[in-house]
Structure 1
Amino acid sequence: MSLPWSDAENDAIVADYFAMLADDAVGRAYSKAAHRRALVARIGRAEGSVEYKHQNISAVLKGLGEDWITGYKPAFNFQWSLVDAVARWLARHPDWVARLPRAGSSVLREGADRATAALRDEAPLWIGPPPTHSNAPPPGELEQMMAVAAKFDVAERDARNRALGRAGEARVMASERATLAAAGRHDLAARVRWVADEDGDGAGYDIASFEADGAERLLEVKTTNGWERTPFHLTRNEIAVAEDRREAWQLVRLWNFAREPRAFAIRPPLDAHVSLTPTSFLAALR
């Protein structure tokens, strides 16, 4: 029976994994076998052990709401010392968490503040249905991922990443305009408003758009670089507006954003799709 991995060994394999992931994310060629052999020579672990640990890192990253190397299928029942090693790497590389879509995309070239103009020619997003119980991972896997997400509060991390949030809103703005234009409603496309940018965050939605028949669409956009079940924050005001404007309001969840943005929509009532957990309280002196 092999000994548990030390912090030094975990740090070494995590750094090596991210070196491969950085290449993978931009489509740059690399050799997993060469990386594996070099790591084996460095830390003295068996190749099979290294290979499985790479899969464990994919699972940890999934729980942390990050993307992972698709060639390393997530393997669960990982040790928390590995989670800590991934968290240490991310803490030393805040630019990784804050990254926008891969180099070459119009959002990254122009920057989030100029994203509306940069995205004017982007194609409409395909916005699918939300995840359901029927397509959820096995309970043990989901429980472990949710525990990781809760410990490191990935929802708060994404909420604080304003550049990521703005880029996601800009992408949905462009999609709404492109969809209306494709339907021949250039008049409505010209009236789509980025409310959060123009008026601030108090409206309870980010984008005011339209259906092709002119009906209102009030879109609250939540963006993550992680998988579709990464937790996210909703404000009390967003929940109230969702309830008051049920016919028009919907949440657009963008995920896998840094690599290949995907989306699904949630319509009220929210509690039919998500579990709402209070995370803070307003304290006033007596």
Structure 2
Amino acid sequence: MAGDWTDGQNDAIVADYFAMLADDIAGRPYSKAEHNRLLQAVIGRPRGSIEYKHQNISAVLKGLGEDWIPGYKPAFNFQASLVDAVVRWLDRHPAWLAPAAKSETGASASAFREDAMLWIGPPPTHSNAPPPDELEQMTVIARKYDVAGRDARNRSLGRAGEERILAHERASLLSAGRTDLAERIRWVSQVDGDGAGYDIRSFDTDGSDRLIEVKTTNGWERTPFHITRNELAVAEAHREEWRLVRLWNFTREPRAFELRPPLEAHVSLMATSYQASFL
């Protein structure tokens, strides 16, 4: 059968993909060949077509800032209807986007509290950007489905990310022999509320402040994120101490990078909301 995939075919292969992804996250054995064989009978598509469509689904999930099956390398230039099918599946399974729900599929909840240092790498730059067509397609998906807003509204994801950065900061100071400083780290957003313009007050090994705003996603390192006017103002007022820690690939293997003010040197800032007052 040639031509575009129908909604029914897309829905069937997306559901099958998420079944494999749940097994993959949980560490349960599964057979890609067996899944492919069964799908051939259900949707009437050949093995190679199904294999490539699985790679397309990985690409869609990457654009949506979500986890994907590592064995299916993202392949781009997919139909818009496939994006709609993935979003339909996620809409029908809202718990999938919550860290607690993912732990039920097999990811260890203790991973969010692991007392170990994170991999801290370089931030994204023009030099390490993906090909323009790929980046454009992912950017369109992220904007259309407001991936940044979804992550910002996911309070359980944000809290788990902050908790993970707390553990990293403590482990870093303890490994440097600064137990005194590790004991003084403060989870500001939980103890004092969200108005400070940063989530965690930590320290460099010389005792200077690190005012850390944490932004967490299950997606890749270029997944967009929201930042508030207050956070930008505090970043500008405390350029030497303020840090934005971007925590990504959170469910699988949390990694992070740091951005220092001015943020305009690293990211493009776009206003997404305005305050309205009566005349």
Q: TM-score normalized by structure 2? A: 0.96
1:67 equivalent to 2:67? Answer: yes
- Unpaired stretches in structure 1, ≥5 consecutive residues: 109-118
Alpha-carbon displacement from aligned partner over 1:255-274 (angstroms, at most 9, x marks no partner): 01011111011111101100
Alpha-carbon displacement from aligned partner over 1:20-59 (angstroms, at most 9, x marks no partner): 0011112111100000000001111111111111111000
2:240 to 241, 247, 256: 247
Structure 1 residue 182: Cα displacement: 1.0
2:198 to 205, 218, 236: 205
1:179 equivalent to 2:183? Answer: no
1:260 equivalent to 2:253? Answer: yes
Cα distance in 2, alignment partners of residues 89 and 180 from structure 1: 43
Alpha-carbon displacement from aligned partner over 1:121-152 (angstroms, at most 9, x marks no partner): 61111222201111111000000000000000
Q: Which residue of 1 aligns with 2:181?
A: 188
SS in 1 for 2:15: helix
Q: Which residue of 1 aligns with 2:2?
A: 2
Q: Which residue of 2 aligns with 1:82?
A: 82
Q: Which residue of 2 aligns with 1:144?
A: 137
Report the count of equivalent residues: 275
Cα distance in 2, alignment partners of residues 71 and 8 from structure 1: 24
Q: Which amino acid aligns with 1:203?
A: A
1:23 equivalent to 2:23? Answer: yes
Structure 1 residue 99: Cα displacement: 2.3
SS in 1 for 2:68: coil
Conservation of the 8 A alpha-carbon contact between 2:10 and 2:85: yes
Q: Which amino acid aligns with 1:26?
A: A
1:280 equivalent to 2:264? Answer: no
Q: Which residue of 1 aligns with 2:150?
A: 157
Q: Which amino acid aligns with 2:84?
A: D
Structure 1 residue 2: Cα displacement: 1.2
1:41 equivalent to 2:34? Answer: no
Cα distance in 2, alignment partners of residues 107 and 164 from structure 1: 13
SS in 2 for 1:193: coil
Cα distance in 1, alignment partners of residues 27 and 126 from structure 2: 33
Q: Which residue of 1 aligns with 2:108?
A: 104
Question: Which residues of 2 match residues 209-248 of structure 1 at below 5 A?
Answer: 209-248=202-241
Cα distance in 2, alignment partners of residues 107 and 201 from structure 1: 25
Structure 1 residue 107: Cα displacement: 5.4
State the percentage of identical aligned residues: 71
Q: Which residue of 2 aligns with 1:51?
A: 51
Cα distance in 2, alignment partners of residues 129 and 137 from structure 1: 15
Q: TM-score normalized by structure 1? A: 0.94
Conservation of the 8 A alpha-carbon contact between 2:119 and 2:254: no
- Unpaired stretches in structure 2, ≥5 consecutive residues: none
- Across the aligned residues of Structure 1 and Structure 2, the Cα RMSD in angstroms comes to 1.2
Alpha-carbon displacement from aligned partner over 1:177-225 (angstroms, at most 9, x marks no partner): 1111111111110000000000111000000000011010000000000
Conservation of the 8 A alpha-carbon contact between 1:107 and 1:167: no
SS in 2 for 1:219: strand
